[in-house]
Amino acid sequence: MNADDAADLVQDVLAKLVVQLPKFTYDRDKSFHGWLRTLAMNGRRDLLKKKVPASMANHPSAADAFVPDPIESFIEREYRDRLAVQAMKILRADFQPRTWQAVWDLVVAGKPVAEVADAAGMTREAVYAAKCRVLARLRRELQGLWV
């Protein structure tokens, strides 16, 4: 997708949001993110359909051109990554600063366990144990929020 198509998609989705958002009713058993993703993906599919030449519109392979859409998995990964990072920032207050920093450096910054353990004054085993505790808590907090 080029920059012009992306700009068109953003404009189309925002225009749809202006119309659809007042009608939106929150449901605890459903996901706002899922609803928004569906709106964006439908907008992308509409944009792609407009670009199909008229001679190809009824061709049997034309429908296959739209599935699967790699943007959908990108949106989902971005959502999950941002949700996890935000949840980790909120959980920070529930852990000792040294424990938190060690887990952050290991999981988010991607530093090697030996480096993290040395910087924190912990054993490697203690770093892994801290990681297990923090990530278990993170999973509990995020339960039900994943789409």
Residue 17 has pLDDT above 80, yes or no: yes
Residues of the chain with CATH 1.10.10: 76-147
pLDDT of residue 35: 78
Looking at residue 47, its amino acid is: L
More confident site: 110 or 20: 110
Specify the range with the lowest mean pLDDT, choosing from 4-13, 47-56, 87-96, 118-127. Answer: 47-56
Q: What is the pLDDT of residue 13?
A: 82
| H-helix or E-strand spanning residue 18 | helix 3-20
Beta-strand (E) ranges in the chain? none
Q: Measure the CA–CA gap between 40 and 11, rounded to whole angstroms.
A: 11
Other beta carbons less than 10 A from residue 49's beta carbon = 13
Closest CA to 62 of 77, 73, 51: 51
**pLDDT tier, 4 (very low <50, low <70, confident <90, very high otherwise):** confident
pLDDT one-digit tens code per residue, 69-119: 667 777 778 888 888 888 888 889 899 999 999 999 999 899 999 999 999
Confidence (pLDDT) at 57 = 54
Report CA-CA distances (Å) from 116 to 96, 130, 132. 15, 12, 15
Q: What are phi and psi of 31, to 5 degrees?
A: -115, 125
The whole-angstrom separation of Cα 59 and Cα 96 is 61
Token look-up 């989705």 returns: 13
Smallest CA-to-CA distance from 94 within 141, 47, 142, 26 is with 141
According to CATH, the topology of domain 76-147 is Arc Repressor Mutant, subunit A (1.10.10)
- Confidence (pLDDT) at 103: 94
Q: What is the mean pLDDT of the chain?
A: 81
**pLDDT score, position 146:** 61
Rg of the chain, C-alpha, whole Å = 22
- CA separation for the pair 16, 137 (Å, rounded): 37
**pLDDT value, residue 30:** 74
Q: Which of 56-70, 99-113, 128-142 has the lowest mean pLDDT?
A: 56-70
109 versus 10: the higher-pLDDT residue is 109
